[in-house]
Amino acid sequence: MPVARKSSPARLVIALSVAAVLAIFLLYTSIAGGGNPSISPSELGKRTEKVQLAGLVTGPVRGDSHAAGLRFGLRDIDGDSAKTVSVLYTGSVPDLFKKGRHIVVDGRLRNGVFVAEPGSMITKCPSKYAPKSSSA
């Protein structure tokens, strides 16, 4: 900290700023909540709160994301859990989406189907810089 002996306004300024930042932080977390848990399909279980689901797309991919919705399965990217969650998705589909890709969607489980929020899908780049063979 930039210091000076007592009576310098610097300390007061910094102390007040730190306090202000903490206050803003608290304000934020109280109005906006703390974000969503990011989990894998095998961890979803019967949980019905809003989560971010990250997984590997399994076929068959059916439907129209701009009509009744796109349907596909998601399973864990690594680990040997065979559990697959069926997903219903509407809205923009990124270019890289297809069977075998890693994707992330926000949404919640409803009657056994994970209903994603429209437009929430993110495909993980097949690694932004690394060769594609390593991610396929």
Partner 1 sequence: MPELGRAALVVTLGLSVYALVAGAAAARLGRRRLAYSAQNALVAAFFSTLVAAGVLLAALLRNDFSFTYVARTTSEALPTAYTISAFWGGQEGSLLLWLLMLTGFGAVAVRLNRSWARSLVVWVVPVFAAVGVFFSFLLVAVASPFATQAAPPDGAGMTPSLQNPYMLAHPPLLYVGYVGLTVPFAFAIGALLSGQLDERWLVATRRFTLFAWTALGIGQLLGAHWAYVEVGWGGYYAWDPVENAALMPWLAATAFLHSVMIQERRGMLRIWNVLLVILAFSLSLFGTFLTRSGVVNSIHSFTQSSIGPWFLAFIAVVVAFSLAVVFWRLPLLRSPTKLESPISREAAFLYNNLLLLALCLTILWGVVYPLLSEAVRGEAVVLGRSYYDFFLRIFGLPLLLLMGIGPLIAWRRASLRSLATTFRWPTAFALATGVVLLVLGAGSSVPGLVAYTFSAFVAAAIVLEFARGTRARKALGAASWPRAFSSLVARNRRRYGGYVVHAAIVLLAIGIAGSSAFDSVAEAKLARGESMEVGDYTLVYRSLDEQQVANATEVRATLGVTRGDRDLGTLEAGKNAYTIEQQVSNEVGIRSDRLTGEDLFVITEQIDPDGTIYFRVFVKPLVNLIWVAGLVFLLGSVITLWPDAREQRRLVSRASEVGVPATR
Query: Given the complex with partner 1, which of 15 and 111 has the nearer CB atom?
Result: 15
Minimal distance in Å, beta carbon 111 to partner 1? 24
Binding site for partner 1 (CB under 8 A): 1-5, 8-10, 12-14, 17, 21, 24-25, 28, 32, 34-40, 43, 52, 54, 64-66, 77-78, 92-96, 98, 102, 106, 124-135
Fill in the amino acid letter for 99.
K
User: Cβ contacts of residue 117 below 8 Å, gap of 6+?
Assistant: 91, 105, 106, 107
> Of the candidates 121, 107, 120, which has an alpha carbon nearest to the alpha carbon of residue 49?
107
Minimal distance in Å, beta carbon 87 to partner 1? 18
Q: What one-character DSSP code corresponds to residue 126? A: S
Beta bridge partners of 63: 70
Minimal distance in Å, beta carbon 93 to partner 1? 7
